[in-house]
Amino acid sequence: MDLKTLIYEKEGHVAIVTLNRPEAFNCLNEEMWSEMSLVQDEIENDDDVRAVVIKAAGDKFSAGIDISLLGKVDSQHILKNLTRMQHLYTRWEMMNPPVICAVNGLCFGAGTELVLACDIRIASKDAVFALQEVNFGLSPDMGGSQRLTRMVGPGQAKRLILACEKINAEEALRIGLVEKLCDGGELVDEAVSMARKISEKPPVAVKFAKKAINVAMESSLYAGLLFEQAQSAFCFSTGDIKEAAAAFFERRKPHFKGR
């Protein structure tokens, strides 16, 4: 892949995606979204990838959408393209490998919406979050109003979206917007370490566990229990479950093959 606004690397079973427009505060634009789609294709076509880390170059995660785009976009453009753009973020949420986001510095607007679409969020203690679309005559449209409400509840979501309030990392942790805080110098190592830990687990079990949690957020208890039954029946047919038991009794490290 010939990438200009993103960097794609692999370390073992972990894919690392870096937002790479530090000179523009990693603002998201059409080029970055196009490259994001290419990177997602690469990850989804590579069975060797078992976890993903999204991070940013420079001292700011993302200041949001490139404001220069606002003067170039009209309602017809939105009707034609927004579903595709929303799907980019949803793909992180729906793909098999868990996606861990390492957030440093400013994380505004579409940057926060990207973070919300990840599975686990780790933030540096200097991180600042905001959804400021209302200031520009808009409402979050890359999933922010939906995912934030599910994550922190309607009251907190209304406070952040309607008043466009900025919150620091400690408050983000308190209300459930992020799962873990660490010092800035440890941020990427912490995210990669967690990704490696996940990548060492049985891949099929991880895939189904992620999907089961997503199902729990979207459906009834009865539907979720049916999903658990189906995934459990499948997992008991895999070689990995036999390998896990054998490694436990033989007191050795298991070697999972994802099947």
Q: pLDDT of 109-121, one tens digit each?
A: 999 999 999 999 9
Indicate the length of the chain as a whole number. 259
The per-residue pLDDT for 72 is 74
Instruction: Establish whether domains 6-199 and 203-250 are of one fold.
Output: no
Phi, psi of 236 (to 5 degrees): -70, -5
pTM: 0.95
Provide the pLDDT for residue 79: 85
Nearest CA to 143 out of 61, 68, 211, 88 is that of 88
Given a contact cutoff of 8 angstroms between Cβ atoms, the answer to whether 193 and 53 are in contact is no
| Stretches in the chain below the pLDDT threshold 70 | none
For domain 203-250, is the CATH number 1.10.12.10?
A: yes
Check 113, 165, 218, 243 and give the catalytic one: 113
**pLDDT at residue 78 in the model:** 84
In this structure, are residues 49 and 117 in contact, taking their beta carbons and an 8 Å threshold? no
Among 133, 170, 171, 186, which one carries the catalytic annotation? Answer: 133
Which pLDDT belongs to residue 43?
Answer: 98
Residue type, position 96, single letter: N
pLDDT at residue 1, as a whole number: 82
What b/e readout covers 132-155, taking b as 16+ CB neighbours within 10 angstroms? bbeeeeeebebbbbebbbebbeee
For the chain, the structural domain boundaries read 6-199, 203-250
Among residues 105, 90, 73, the alpha carbon closest in space to that of 36 is found at 90
- 42 annotated active-site: no
CB 18 within 8 A of CB 6: yes
Rounded Cα distance between 205 and 51, Å, is 13
Q: What is the structure's pLDDT at 258?
A: 83
250 noted as active-site residue: no
- CATH superfamily for 6-199 is 2-enoyl-CoA Hydratase; Chain A, domain 1 (3.90.226.10)
